[in-house]
Each structure stands twice: as structure tokens, then as C-alpha cells.
Amino acid sequence: FGRIGGAMPLHMKMPIRGFSRKRFEKPVVCLNLDQVHTLFSDGETVSISSLIEKKIISKNSKATLKILSKGEIDRKVSIEANSFSKQALKKLEKNSVPYKIV
């Protein structure tokens, strides 16, 4: 004859809550090639530590660095970043700018 009435099961009483990866993801600092051109001079190294020294990002930041391709670069800087866009790599190789994926 089945069940009639009774208490609501606990898993149905609880609100539906989603899962977010927000607390696990690292922030990314995106830097365009034209920004690299204006912020750095010849012979300098572009990296997270140099951005902290220039006070562009905070020293407590756990961010990673990504280089994007907007603009042109003709300075002889060396770039150390966590990732590069495909177009940025093409422009860096065309202008023979040394880069390193950290």
C-alpha cells in the first residue's frame, strides 16, 4: 500500500548549492606587447618579479603572467612568462625577442 506522509528526507530539505572553482583558480596578469614596450626599456627582463619591483602588481600576488599580442614590440627585452598567446609568440619570433616559458 505504500507510504503516505512522513518526514521529508534530509537531502531534500537542504538547499541546492553549486560548486565553484573560484577558490582554486589563480589570477592571471595579462600584459600586451604595447604595454611591455612602454613599461620596460632595452635590456630589462619582463617577469612577475620585475612587475612587482615596478609596483604594477602587489607583492602578495600569486598571479601568473600571460603575454598577449596587442601592439608591436621593437625593444630588446627578455620575457619570462607562464603563457603566451600564439600571435604574441609569432611577433616575438619575428622581432627576435628572447622569451622563456616558466
Q: What percent of the chain has pLDDT over 70?
A: 96
Number of domains in the chain: 1
Whether residue 8 has pLDDT greater than 90: no
- Range of the structural domain that residue 40 is part of: 26-101
Parallel, antiparallel or unpaired: strands 45-46 and 83-84: unpaired
The answer to whether residue 45 is domain-embedded is yes
The answer to whether residue 13 is domain-embedded is no
Whether residue 3 has pLDDT greater than 80: no
CA 82 to CA 65: how far, in whole Å?
5
Phi-psi region of 61 (alpha: psi -120 to 50; beta: other; left: phi over 0): beta
> How far is it between the farthest Cα atoms of the chain?
85
The answer to whether residue 5 is domain-embedded is no
Q: What pLDDT score does 7 carry? A: 84
pLDDT digits (tens, 9 = 90+) for 49-95: 999 999 999 988 889 999 999 999 888 999 999 999 999 999 999 99
The answer to whether residue 42 is domain-embedded is yes
The answer to whether residue 7 is domain-embedded is no
Q: What pLDDT score does 11 carry? A: 87
